[in-house]
């Protein structure tokens, strides 16, 4: 076995000490898909096509460890569909990454891009790894070797990775550099859009870091407006305090809303008077998690789930709101920051309880929308200001929100199914126009 290097040498990447219990998340995708396909009467041939992923790449690759010796790693990239544009989706470093999880996440990416009208297909990938067990330099070599192993399965006009759980702009910079080093020297400059979510200096976009949280907050604002609900004085709780959770929490604060409960992999905390999300974000960055935050009481998972609040933003992992946990929820709105946080049984319970849901494929689409903006800026050698990025993001996500609302009314169905119907109708139309080769 490999001896790991000291904690101080590690990246700031946080990882669960114990992975969430594994359930087959791809089964959820299939159930959600079938419900929408049945309701809209999706063409049976298109249904066959969209029920399967296009490509599933599994790579095993060796990496030299700091203390000598080699460890083998398993990486995945699943490309679900690219009829609307290049494959697009994040890379996750987590012990629970497996082929079914990546299939599910890739499929959701196809729907998401179609719902928000951006010219991308869906993909996702990752490495089955607990990154907290590896040093900064080991994570760099693992990332570079994974990129090399993927080879031409990714590319700026073909399949464009981005950050996801336990990956960040630093990891995107290593992928970019490794990919470019495999290109002929005279082609490198026109390929920096091979990844999005890059650091600004390496070709990233302003506003990408907060984009998913910003999109969630724009969606919540729209929901509040439509329901005549004042966000000023409203209470909210957040599960997961990484990129998506912390940005959502911080961006909701200026509306006068009060963050009262937070959970991450290190524990859960509560303060009825309000937790300052900016202060908590600094604390979590320093200490590697929210546990021990001095201005809130520590609570257990069940108490966290039962918190009485107006808005719940799940922004951690999938399958958090299920038949077992949904009965505890005591909120008006679930704004899904994570991908797949609510399973189909959880959905039914929330519906019975009269809890509104802004589904993941709409609510967390800010990340892929601003990734698209980054990609466009790279292709055009442009650099947009933050105001421009934010106002274009708002326009895209509010437009999608209104389209989904329209389908909810047309089909008298729930928001998730309505969102799927938009995606499936669009994909069906394109397949019918183009036909099936040969």
Residues annotated as part of the active site: 124
How far apart are CB 11 and ligand NAD at their closest, in Å?
11
- CA dihedral for 338, 400, 352, 109, sign (positive or negative): negative
Q: Are strands 311-314 and 333-335 parallel, antiparallel or unpaired?
A: parallel
Beta bridge partners of 61: 73
Task: State the CB neighbour count (10 A cutoff) for residue 186.
Answer: 7
Structure-block tokens of residue 133:
């067990």
- The structure tokens 């935050």 sit at 293
Q: Which is nearer to ligand NAD, 46 or 197 (CB)?
A: 197
Q: Look at residue 390 and give its three-state secondary structure.
A: helix
Q: Which is nearer to ligand NAD, 320 or 413 (CB)?
A: 320
Beta bridge partners of 87: 121, 159
Q: Look at residue 165 and give its three-state secondary structure.
A: coil
Q: Which stretch of DSSP H or E encloses residue 259?
A: strand 258-264
Structure-block tokens of residue 243:
């990129």
How far apart are CB 367 and ligand NAD at their closest, in Å?
3
Q: Which is nearer to ligand NAD, 122 or 163 (CB)?
A: 163
Fill in the DSSP letter of residue 6. Answer: P
User: What stretches of 82-148 adopt beta strand conformation (E)?
Assistant: 87-94, 121-128
CB 243 within 8 A of CB 209: yes
Q: Which is nearer to ligand NAD, 42 or 126 (CB)?
A: 126
CA pair distance 324, 230, nearest whole angstrom: 31
Gyration radius of the chain over CA positions: 21
Close Cβ partners of 88 (under 8 Å, ≥ 6 residues apart)? 109, 113, 120, 121, 122, 123, 159, 160, 162, 368, 371, 372
How far apart are CB 408 and ligand NAD at their closest, in Å?
22
Structure-block tokens of residue 356:
């509104």
Alpha helix segments (H runs only) across 3-71: 25-40, 44-50
CA pair distance 31, 343, nearest whole angstrom: 9
How far apart are CB 339 and ligand NAD at their closest, in Å?
4
CB 218 within 8 A of CB 358: no
Number of H helices, E strands in the chain: 14, 12
The site for ligand NAD (CB under 6 A) is made up of: 14, 16, 20, 163-166, 212, 239-245, 263-265, 315-317, 337-339, 364, 367
Distance between start and end Cα atoms, the chain: 52
How far apart are CB 245 and ligand NAD at their closest, in Å?
6
How far apart are CB 192 and ligand NAD at their closest, in Å?
19
How far apart are CB 263 and ligand NAD at their closest, in Å?
5
How far apart are CB 200 and ligand NAD at their closest, in Å?
16
Residues listed for the chain:
438
Q: Which is nearer to ligand NAD, 46 or 369 (CB)?
A: 369
């Amino acid at each position: 076995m490999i001896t790991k290097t000291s904690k101080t040498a590690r990246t700031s990447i946080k990882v669960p000490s114990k992975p969430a219990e594994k359930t087959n998340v791809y089964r959820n995708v299939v159930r959600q898909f079938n419900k929408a396909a049945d309701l809209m009467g999706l063409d049976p041939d298109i249904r066959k096509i969209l029920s399967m992923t296009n490509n599933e790449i599994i790579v095993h690759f060796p990496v030299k460890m700091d203390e000598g010796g080699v460890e083998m790693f398993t990486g995945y990239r699943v490309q679900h569909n690219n009829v609307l544009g290049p494959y697009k989706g994040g890379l996750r470093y987590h012990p629970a990454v497996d082929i079914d999880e990546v299939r599910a996440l890739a499929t959701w990416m196809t729907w998401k891009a179609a719902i928000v009208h951006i010219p991308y297909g869906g993909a996702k990938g990752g490495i089955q790894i607990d990154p907290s067990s590896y040093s900064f330099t080991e994570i760099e070599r693992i990332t570079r070797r994974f990129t090399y192993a993927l080879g031409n399965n990714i590319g700026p006009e073909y399949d464009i990775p981005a950050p996801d759980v336990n990956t960040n702009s630093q990891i995107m910079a290593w992928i970019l550099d490794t990919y470019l080093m495999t290109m002929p020297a005279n082609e490198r400059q026109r390929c920096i859009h091979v990844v999005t979510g890059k650091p600004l200096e390496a070709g990233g976009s302003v506003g990408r870091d907060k984009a998913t949280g910003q999109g969630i907050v724009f969606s919540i604002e729209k929901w509040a407006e439509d329901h005549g609900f004042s966000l000023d004085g409203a209470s909210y709780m957040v599960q997961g305090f990484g990129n998506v959770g912390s940005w959502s929490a911080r961006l909701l604060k200026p509306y006068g809303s009060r963050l009262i409960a937070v959970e991450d992999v290190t524990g859960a905390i509560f303060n009825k008077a309000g937790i300052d999300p900016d202060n908590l974000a600094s604390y979590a960055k320093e200490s590697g998690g929210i546990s021990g935050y001095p201005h809130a009481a520590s609570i257990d998972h069940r108490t966290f789930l039962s918190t009485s609040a107006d808005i719940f933003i799940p922004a951690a992992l999938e399958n958090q709101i299920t038949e077992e946990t949904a009965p505890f929820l005591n909120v008006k709105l679930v704004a899904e920051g994570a991908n797949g946080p609510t399973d189909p049984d959880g959905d039914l319970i929330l519906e019975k309880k009269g809890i509104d849901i802004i589904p993941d494929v709409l609510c967390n689409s800010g990340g892929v929308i601003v990734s698209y903006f980054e990609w466009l800026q790279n292709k055009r050698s442009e650099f947009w200001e933050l105001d421009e990025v934010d106002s274009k993001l708002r326009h895209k996500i509010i437009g999608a929100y209104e389209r989904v609302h329209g389908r909810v009314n047309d089909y008298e169905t729930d928001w998730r199914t309505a969102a799927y119907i938009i995606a499936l109708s669009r994909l069906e139309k394109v397949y019918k126009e183009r036909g099936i080769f040969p």
